[in-house]
Structure 1
Amino acid sequence: MCEHVRICFWPWRCVALLAFVVLSDLSLGVRASNAHEGHAALPTKGLTVSGDQLLLSEGARKAIDLQTGKVTLADMTRRVECNAHVEAPWRMQAMVTTQVPGRIARLFVRPGDRVEAGQELASVESLELEALQLAMLQADAELRLEEEKLARQRPLAERGVITGSAALETEASVRQRTTELEVVQCKLRALGLSQGLLARVRQSQQPVTEFALVSPLSGVVAEADVRVGQVVKTTEHLFHVVDPSRVWVVGDVLEGESAAVLPGQPAVVRFKELPDQQFTGVVDHLHLKMDETRRTRHVAVLISNTDGLLSPGMFGQMWVETARSEEAIVCPTDGIIRYLGSEYVLVNRGEGKYVRKPVEIGLRREDQVEILDGLFPGDRVVVNGNHVLFSLFANETPTSSGSRTPPKMEAHPEVPASGGAAPKPVVIQGTVELPTDRKALASARLEGRVGRILVNHSQPVKAGQVLAEVESLQLRNLQGELLESQSKLAWTRERAGRLERLASQNLLSKKELWQLQTDQRVLENRVASLARRLGMLGVGQDEVDRVLSVDLSSQDCDVALVRSVSIRAAIDGEVAAFGIVPGQIVDADTPLFEIHDRSTLWVKGYVFQRDAAGVTTGQPVSVTFHALPGVRVEGRVVRVSPVLDASERVLPVWVEVDNSDGRLIEGMLARIEINRVEVAEARRHRLDNAR
């Protein structure tokens, strides 16, 4: 909000009044020739100035049209105004994809339809799904055949009709077919097919050819990029569902006003399309980066939208209440006089008696000003004619109790007490940035679909904390291979143990035993390799151990499988930015999150070539910021580029400043003052640093 103050000046009417006072004091008995515009001529008597007091006759008051206003109690607020637009929060939207490739068989919704969580959106025919079921039926048939064969061989082996090794071979085959069947069933259950459905498929010998795509949340179908008969892949977004009951209104607050805006502050939003509507909410979060193109900071306000009047993409105006003072002492703005950096008022202390008083000002608005010190409710201050009267005190020093002396001009800090000239500091413009070790990116290690997002914008996080989870077909297939290899290894070890006993009794050739032991070592290496690959993808060792210990014969074996890999923070800090939503397909190694540790920051500036010789590391520096008026931060030069910028002929320098209070963010504009050093001293510093 703009601050309205009046600057003391000497208008022509003031000159006329002073002339009247001088003539009155000399007892000349004549009237001033100049009259106050629109009023009668000023009287020759009736005005006395004594210290901070001024006595004024009724005629003099009428001559200058003197008016007063009352000091009252009122609620005062300070508001920041900015342009804003509507966005859908990431929590209130989701993408829908298919877990296996296929073809759209049926569509149940259209864009704009309202859906409930779990409602079917479409059905997909999948050859891969059918192939998995056929593999299950084949493994089931082969298992039954081997079980029947084993049932016939066991009595024959016991009577010595056939060798025991033949029965052992058949028993090993039964174990292998059982493992294959259990692995396929576990994969199908991971795709959402229930144990009961799989049992019906095995009984009917007819695979299910379709599966349903369902909505992950209640809302409105914003996009449906599918048609019946369309071939779809696991990397395509098929539906976009948005819950419009709550929205973000993101304001672009100017950099100079951004420091006053904080989370939790109330805000009001209006739109031209809805002139009779006013929307209220609170600041949800502030982005941790300054928009360096617009010089604004994004501020997100959470707004209830149960009636659905707001749609993402709408533009409007936002007002954020940055300060409030209830039952504050307020004075009319016209009563404030600014003189030599201080504020004063003329208080009416009775008929024709006025006292000059300094005041301390708080919140301001167009017609009223909060008074922190100097006035009380019920006081009356001069609001018209006060500048004319105050000019009579221009050469006086306030003497009343509690009054403030106008500030004295201080000597320039560059001029020492001895009077000798000190070198002027190097003044350059700069921008706040993070040191290289205090910014980290987080990404998925494999392609997949965002399952859950566990953090919010600007949220503090610790190193190793999970930021999000990514579900992946590759992850599911790797675990299937691991389970299959682990099961084969288990029955291979068991079989090798049995054959080893037979070989020791010369009932089996050692060549066959050696071959089985070789197969065992190969499987051990394969299991270890698959476990390492899962670890490299972000699966923890405890999760790998859980997969290795899963009982494939149990109906809930799919629960033990790792459904997603975790994206973790690499450093302590805050979540600066992310632009993903649940269900979104992400590529491997694409940065998804940015983490900022803002405890210590750099301010990067450029020194002109003529000043570069006097700048070196370790020099003390003072830094001020456009977004934080009145704040001065001390720092030091920590880095000087060894080469000048070829196009601009400037030398990049970096200043380190403390930011433990968190007021500074990346991209803020800064003004850097570097104390000069002699060229010889600067060269010595550079040589010392080089050594």
Structure 2
Amino acid sequence: MHPQVVQNAPGTCPICAMDLVPFDKNSTSTSLQLMDSQVKLANITTAAAGAGMLTQTRSLNARLMPDPQRTGIISARIAGRIDKLHVRETGVRIKKGQALYAVYSEELATLQSEYLLAAAQTRKFPEDARFKQIAEGAELKLERYGQSKNAIGKLLQEGKPQPLVTFYAEQDGLVTELSVTEGQYIAEGGTVLQVEDYSRLWVEADIYPSEAELLKTGQTLQVIVPGWENEPRNMQAEFVYPALQTGRQTLQLRGSISNPDARWQPGMAATVLLPVASRSETMQLPIDAVIRDGATAHIWIEKPKNTFTPRKVKTGLETNRSIEITEGLRDGEKVVITGAYLLYSEFVLKRGKQPV
């Protein structure tokens, strides 16, 4: 556990009280040879080294927000009494064309009577253009008060006013606000309910003014939602607010991401990765494959099978997942990518010194 503790005889470590492990101080071997069972137990895996694109990024704190362009306010098209509420609570998903509420309106009954009278006059005097214009005007009034073509056709077929009118959803979404109760009277234009569509969400990220220089409108950025790290989403930088947020020294970056199955909800945290530097055709490894012990860094090469040799390397550009290797590694060599630290510990215990 503490390789700096060395004794000439068996004993225990004065720091952690563990039994000291013997090692051969005369051994000049720089390799470790393990059995298959030891490799499996230590979860040591290797991969062939190769070159590729490496992009260094900065992580921006972000939040998911509802898209205002997909938020709809459903208001009363005509004054009357809410006779029937088909949606009685918030949080309910609705589909376009679904019945939402029914209104009893004497004003609407009057408009329907006017339309039926004008339609009857048009049928009786089909050549009179004036009666035709009156009928068209009465029909247009009904449409503007929320009557569909089908409803007007049914009214004409039945030949009598229908003051109880059902209104239907004009979009899919989630009911986030319900402003009326059954039996309540409502004025024309009064809010009935609010619907938000979460199939696409806004992403608002905090960005320092100095970082804004690294960003271009239309640039593609990556968005990661905690819990779904393996399913990042791409978004385009659509807008950067020109003023600092109140009480904070950051700007707000805005974009949007698709959310077709509504797995994410507004208010969830997210991370936006902002590229700051990139290298093409650079030798790179997973960051856990490189062991850094002070001023040096080394990796473990497998050659031959189950024989692992440490090698000093020089590193360059680094991300939260990968690291550039500028010296000490050739294309195609088998490098330990998991379990490197266990090999390092085993070497120190057996040899009593650093690997490189």
TM range (shorter): 0.5 to 0.7
**How far did residue 370 of structure 1 move?**
7.4
> SS at the partner of 2:90?
coil
Instruction: Give the secondary-structure state (helix, strand or coil) at the position aligned to 2:207.
Output: strand
Check if 1:131 corresponds to 2:119: no
Residue 191 of structure 2 aligns to a residue in which SS?
coil
Q: How has the CA–CA distance of structure 1 residues 333 and 255 changed in structure 2, closer, same or farther, with 3 Å as cutoff?
A: farther
Aligned with 2:92 (options 93, 113, 119): 113
Partner of 1:87: 65
* Structure 2 gaps, min length 5: 5-48, 296-314, 332-356
> Which residue number in structure 1 is paired with residue 267 of structure 2?
313
Which structure carries more relative contact order (alpha carbon 8 Å, separation 6+)? 2
- The residue number in structure 1 matching 2:211 is 257
- Taking structure 1 as the reference length, the TM-score comes to 0.32
2:76 paired residue number: 98
Residue 235 of structure 1 corresponds to which residue in structure 2? 189
Task: Find the aligned partners of 2:241 and 2:283 in 1 and give their Cα distance.
Answer: 38
Q: Is the 8 A contact 1:286 1:297 kept in 2?
A: no
CA drift of 1:85 comes to 0.9
Q: Helix, strand or coil for the counterpart of 1:133?
A: helix
| Cα 1:278–1:181 shift into 2, 3 Å | same
Name whichever structure is richer in helix by fraction.
Answer: 1
Q: Distance in 1 between matches of 2:123 and 2:284?
A: 92
Residue of structure 2 equivalent to 1:267: 222
Displacement of 1:261 in angstroms is 3.1
Q: State the secondary structure of the residue aligned to 1:238.
A: strand
User: Aligned partners of 1:92 and 1:120: how far apart in 2?
Assistant: 20
Describe how 1:61-460 pairs up with structure 2 within 5 A: 73=51, 75-109=53-87, 110-139=89-118, 176-191=130-145, 193=147, 197-198=151-152, 201-202=155-156, 204-262=158-216, 263-271=218-226, 274=227, 279-293=231-245, 294-329=248-283, 363-365=317-319, 368=323, 378=330
Correspondence for 2:42 = none
Q: Which amino acid aligns with 2:83?
A: A
Residue type of the alignment partner of 1:281: R
Change in CA separation of 1:81 and 1:206 when aligned onto 2, cut-off 3 Å: same
Kindly tell me: are residues 195 and 72 of structure 1, through their superposed partners in 2, closer, same or farther at Cα, counting changes over 3 Å? closer
The residue type equivalent to 1:79 in the other structure is T
Amino acid at match of 1:95: I
Number of residue pairs the alignment of both structures matches: 256
Deviation, 1:254, is 1.6
- Contact map agreement 2:67 2:198 (CA 8 A) in 1: no
Tell me how far apart the structure 2 counterparts of residues 113 and 191 of structure 1 sit (CA, whole Å): 26
The Cα offsets for residues 504-538 of structure 1, whole Å up to 9 and x where unpaired, read as xxxxxxxxxxxxxxxxxxxxxxxxxxxxxxxxxxx
Aligned mates of 2:206, 2:219 — CA distance in 1: 17
Alignment partner of 1:208: what SS?
coil
Indicate conservation of the 8 Å contact 1:95/1:240, yes or no.
yes
Task: Report deviation, 1:114.
Answer: 1.9
TM-score (norm 2): 0.57
Task: Classify 1:322/1:119 alpha carbon distance in 2 versus 1 (closer, same or farther; 3 Å).
Answer: farther
Letter in 2 for 1:126: S
Structure 1 residues 455-494: Cα deviation after superposition (integer angstroms, max 9, x where no partner): xxxxxxxxxxxxxxxxxxxxxxxxxxxxxxxxxxxxxxxx
Amino acid at match of 2:181: R
Distance 1:312 1:114, change over 3 A: same
CA drift of 1:129 comes to 1.8
Deviation at 1:209, TM superposition (A): 1.0
Q: CA deviation at 1:199?
A: 5.6
Asked if the contact 2:282–2:324 (Cα under 8 Å) also holds between the matched residues in 1, the reply is no
User: Residue 302 of structure 2 corresponds to which residue in structure 1?
Assistant: none
Q: 1:197 to 1:305 in 2, by over 3 A?
A: closer
Deviation per CA, 1:6-32: give whole Å up to 9, x if none: xxxxxxxxxxxxxxxxxxxxxxxxxxx
Change (3 A) 1:278 1:330: closer
> In 2, are the aligned partners of 1:72 and 1:377 still within 8 Å (CA)?
no
- Paired amino acid for 1:267: Q
Across the aligned residues of Structure 1 and Structure 2, the Cα RMSD in angstroms comes to 4.2
Contact 2:225 2:232 in 1 (8 A): no
Mark the runs of 5 or more structure 1 residues left unpaired by the alignment.
1-37, 39-70, 148-170, 338-360, 380-691
Q: 1:459-538 to 2 correspondence within 5 Å?
A: none
Measure how far apart 1:239 and its partner are. Answer: 2.0
C-alpha contact (below 8 Å) 2:53/2:278 kept by paired residues: yes
- After superposition, the Cα gap between the structure-2 partners of 1:196 and 1:320, relative to the gap in structure 1 and judged at 3 Å, is closer
Q: How has the CA–CA distance of structure 1 residues 122 and 226 changed in structure 2, closer, same or farther, with 3 Å as cutoff?
A: same
Query: Is the alpha carbon distance of 1:198 and 1:256 closer, same or farther for their aligned partners in structure 2, counting shifts above 3 Å?
Result: closer
Rg bigger for which structure? 1
Which secondary structure does the structure 2 equivalent of 1:220 belong to? strand
What is the match of residue 353 of structure 2? none
Work out whether residues 77 and 324 of structure 1, in 8 Å CA contact, stay in contact via their aligned partners in 2: yes
Q: Is the contact made by 2:85 and 2:101 (CA closer than 8 Å) also made in structure 1?
A: yes
